[in-house]
Amino acid sequence: MKKLLTLITILFLTTASSAATTFESGIGIVYGGIVGTSINVEINEKTEAYLGLGLTAGEKLGLTIGSRLWLTDKIRLTGNYGYNCTVKTITIGTSTTTSYKDYTGFNVGIGYARGGKDSSGLTFDAMIVDNSDCEDASKGIVLKSASTLTVAVGYRF
């Protein structure tokens, strides 16, 4: 899986030099973690592919790769695969240890770009997250670290 993501990333970044490219930075899973940045490459007038790199709740580097279909100049549908959630485990014994594990999966959602597709401005996304791996990993743990619906807020430039 890592080899496939590496290949897609290389192809994605080499394509970025010849197509219209925009960037977004913000808070939410569409940016590869809790906070991050994405590079968006226009495929055609209504579609763009993107790669997001961010910092996860487990304090690791997260990755999200996906595409957006622009329904209007300001409204978009988003689908991606990448960082979803982090499960925190605390083990109490002779010493207390805390560990974090990040999980990935498919996500879909709808978003709004206040400035429009080709202009700078605030962006908002509501994403439905496939957090089944997190729920399975957190069985027996009182606090879960993921929810089914998440919101991302960013700035497109």
* CATH number for the domain that contains residue 106: 2.40.160
Which domain range does residue 46 map to?
Answer: 2-156
**pLDDT above 90 (res 122):** yes
Asked if 23 and 40 count as a contact pair (C-beta separation under 8 A), the reply is: yes
pLDDT of residue 66: 96
Rounded Cα–Cα distance for residues 58 and 27 (Å): 15
Q: Give residue 68's pLDDT.
A: 97
Name the domain count of the chain.
Answer: 1
pLDDT tens-digit readout, 29-48: 999 999 999 999 999 999 99
Q: How many CB atoms lie within 10 A of CB 16?
A: 16
Neighbour-count burial for 75-101, b at 16+ CB within 10 Å, e otherwise: ebebebbbbbbbbeeeeeeeeeeeeeb
Would you tell me how many other CB atoms lie within 10 Å of the CB of residue 43? 15
Q: Residue 110's beta-bridge partner residues?
A: 77, 126
Q: Are 44 and 36 in contact (CB under 8 A)?
A: no
Q: What is the pTM of this model?
A: 0.78
CA distance linking residue 70 with residue 156, whole number of Å: 14
Which tokens in the block code for residue 133?
């791996």
